[in-house]
């Protein structure tokens, strides 16, 4: 089988980000969702998209730039740290 399966986690695929994913990552970096609880609903309103688009973009970010994003659960709420 050619290629690497699964992708090596240290790879930086930031050049593969869509404009929407890049914008979401920039917004995540500029906000403090590592401290404040994450709200997919608020993110969807911020970007004028459906919540599913946010879920898909966050999932894509964890695959494409895993060294720049961390999704975690703390004190009963979801948090996202990004840099």
Q: Per-residue DSSP letters for 10-73?
A: T---GGG--HHHHHHHHHHHHS-TTTSPP-HHHHHHHHTS-HHHHHHHHHHHHHH-GGGEEEEE
The answer to whether position 68 is within a domain reads yes
**Residue 83 carries which DSSP code?**
-
The answer to whether position 4 is within a domain reads no
Per-residue pLDDT of the chain (83 residues; tens, 9 = 90+): 444 444 444 456 677 999 999 999 999 999 999 999 999 999 999 999 999 999 999 999 999 999 999 999 999 999 999 99
The answer to whether position 7 is within a domain reads no
**pTM (2 d.p.):** 0.81
For 11, phi and psi rounded to 5 degrees?
A: -65, 140
Q: What is the pLDDT of residue 13?
A: 66
The answer to whether position 1 is within a domain reads no
Cα(83)–Cα(33) distance, integer angstroms: 11
The answer to whether position 45 is within a domain reads yes
The answer to whether position 47 is within a domain reads yes
Number of domains in the chain: 1
Domain span holding position 72: 14-82
For position 35, which CATH number holds?
A: 1.10.10
């Amino acid at each position: 089988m050619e290629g690497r399966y699964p992708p090596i986690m240290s790879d930086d695929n930031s050049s593969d980000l869509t404009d929407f994913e890049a914008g979401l990552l920039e917004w995540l970096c500029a906000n403090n969702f590592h401290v404040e609880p994450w709200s997919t609903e608020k993110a969807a309103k911020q970007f004028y998209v459906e919540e599913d688009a946010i879920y898909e973009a966050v999932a894509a970010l964890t695959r494409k730039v895993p060294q720049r994003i961390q999704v975690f659960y703390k004190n009963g709420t979801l948090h996202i740290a990004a840099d």
